[in-house]
Amino acid sequence: MARINDHYLKLSAGYLFPEIGRRVREFQQANPDADVIRLGIGDVVLPLPQAIRDAMHRAIDELGTDEGFRGYGPEQGYDFLREAIAAHEFGARGVEISPDEIFVSDGSKCDSGNIQEIFAASARVAIPDPVYPVYLDTNVMAGRSGPAGEDGRYAGIVYLPCTAENGFVPEPPSEPVDLVYLCSPNNPTGTAATRGELERWVAYARESGAVLLYDAAYEAFISDPELPHSIYEIPGASEVAIEFRSFSKKAGFTGVRCGFVVVPAGLRGRDADGGEVEIQALWDRRHSTKFNGASYPVQAGAAACYGEAGRAQLAANIDYYMQNARVIRDGMRDLGLTVHGGVDAPYAWIRTPDGIGSWDFFDRLLNQAHVVGTPGAGFGSCGEGYLRLSAFGRREQVEQAVERIRTRL
Ligand SMILES: *Cc1c(COP(=O)(O)O)cnc(C)c1O
């Protein structure tokens, strides 16, 4: 029998969402008439905007003609999309990113999971706690950790606590690391880093030689005009940071699939002999070896996000979700609960009442209000004592969920 990658056996078996699913199923079997409202999973609900569908229809029809047919496209993405991204996501904010620093993909879970491959197996990795689980699990799979301890923390990983005390934006670690994952606006805490906090991280990376892996999947949900949308708004960041972006949340692409990663030309790492190497060349090599390009209709749809109609339709959807977030925040605060987030991200991060555990509060919400949240402990040990409620829902359902929590808890 073939030997397997033993590092996979260290993983704590995708514990969070399967466990939520199991508890919800059990509840529904026992209460078949209960109308359960799900504010647990971070998936969008509004239909795909018209401008995007129109562009995708046109692209498909083009593919049905002799002149318009296209086979394999460039692995890095079509120029029309890379140019639109460079202009609208970065140029419009005074940030100079050239189209050839942008690598289009089928979503940012893959990118943020794959990026670690181009760094040494011995690289020391720092990861916020709590956070999106992909960063941690992909590094465990690659063998950059020891086994998980009793508290669920893996030996060899440097955890960066995100707590109410530090506003859920982690401090640079005191021990040396090679890679630092940052996620802002943050999933699950719903909070976003300020310019000053990002300046501190960029200064830290420039001084220590660490590379920042900055996941900005939720930047379009930022409402505070003072907050940066890109790490590259911080001077000097392009020499120390890679940024991940996704059309999933901002454009309803969770099922359509498109994202991109920015690997700036000036970003360098070291080889075994201490020589400097362009990191972009490594990512380009990896991307074009293992990925054959996002589909043409999808990239046409993504580019339509930047047209006049597309921009307005996206803004309306984001506004809808952020109104939901306000309903959740206000409702929970009226109940006397402490709520973080929900202003610059579509997630509210709720302190559990009376110091009860995340899973106990999850069960109470499910059993009494028939509302599904996500226990904070599932995102890392510092998430214990919190519950995430997602604003990705229909307004009526969000209002009803809040009303039920108010009257039944
Ligand atoms: C949803 C999400 C993504 C996006 O993933 P896709 O693969 O692009 O759908 C990336 N990062 C975080 C933190 C997310 O919550």
For residue range 381-403, what is the model confidence (pLDDT) as tens digits? 999 999 999 999 999 999 999 99
The backbone torsions φ and ψ at residue 259, rounded to the nearest 5 degrees and listed phi first, read: -155, -175
Given 306, 325, 349, the domain boundary residue is 306
* pLDDT higher than threshold 80 for residue 14: no
Mean pLDDT of the chain: 97
Supply the pLDDT for residue 17.
Answer: 85
| Residue 293 · residue 72 · CB < 8 Å | yes
| Residue 230 · residue 89 · CB < 8 Å | yes
* pLDDT higher than threshold 80 for residue 148: yes
Q: Confidence band (pLDDT; 50, 70, 90) for 150?
A: confident
CA–CA dist 168, 388 (Å, integer): 14
247 in the same domain as 147: yes
Indicate which atom in ligand 1 lies nearest the CA of residue 107. 8
Mean local confidence (pLDDT), 1-29: 91
Query: Does ligand 1 come within 6 angstroms of the Cβ of 245?
Result: no
Identify whether 1 is part of a domain.
no
Question: Which of 134, 135, 214, 249 has most ligand 1 atoms within 8 Å of its beta carbon, as the pocket-test mutant?
Answer: 249
Supply the pLDDT for residue 12.
Answer: 78
Percentage of the chain modeled with pLDDT above 90: 96
Query: Does ligand 1 come within 6 angstroms of the Cβ of 254?
Result: yes
Supply the pLDDT for residue 386.
Answer: 98
Structure token pair of residue 186: 């943050």
Residues 20-45: pLDDT tens digits? 999 999 999 999 999 999 998 889 99
Q: 């075994």: which residue's tokens?
A: 272
Q: Which domain holds residue 373?
A: 13-42+309-408
The backbone torsions φ and ψ at residue 24, rounded to the nearest 5 degrees and listed phi first, read: -70, -40
Query: Does ligand 1 come within 6 angstroms of the Cβ of 261?
Result: no
Provide the number of structural domains found in the chain: 2
CA–CA dist 358, 171 (Å, integer): 24
Mean local confidence (pLDDT), 240-261: 98
Query: Does ligand 1 come within 6 angstroms of the Cβ of 205?
Result: no
Supply the pLDDT for residue 16.
Answer: 84
Identify whether 200 is part of a domain.
yes
* pLDDT higher than threshold 90 for residue 15: no
Supply the pLDDT for residue 127.
Answer: 98
Given 291, 306, 321, the domain boundary residue is 306
Query: Does ligand 1 come within 6 angstroms of the Cβ of 259?
Result: yes
153 in the same domain as 280: yes
333 in the same domain as 192: no
pTM: 0.97
Distance 246 CA to ligand 1 centre (A): 7
Query: Does ligand 1 come within 6 angstroms of the Cβ of 248?
Result: yes
Residues 100-126: pLDDT tens digits? 999 999 999 999 999 999 999 999 999
103 in the same domain as 34: no
208 in the same domain as 346: no
Structure token pair of residue 29: 């079997």
Distance 249 CA to ligand 1 centre (A): 8
Instruction: Identify the CATH number of the domain in which residue 175 sits.
Output: 3.40.640.10
Indicate which atom in ligand 1 lies nearest the CA of residue 109. 7
* Residue minimizing CA distance to atom 12 of ligand 1: 217
162 in the same domain as 270: yes
399 in the same domain as 350: yes
Query: Does ligand 1 come within 6 angstroms of the Cβ of 42?
Result: yes
Query: Does ligand 1 come within 6 angstroms of the Cβ of 109?
Result: yes
Residues 336-362: pLDDT tens digits? 999 999 999 999 999 999 999 999 999
Given 271, 306, 341, the domain boundary residue is 306
* pLDDT higher than threshold 90 for residue 327: yes
**Is 9 exposed, middle or buried (CB count within 10 Å of its CB: 0-12, 13-18, 19+)?**
exposed
Structure token pair of residue 239: 């020499």
The answer to whether the bond into 49 is cis (omega within 30° of 0) is no
| Residue 406 · residue 334 · CB < 8 Å | yes
Identify whether 7 is part of a domain.
no
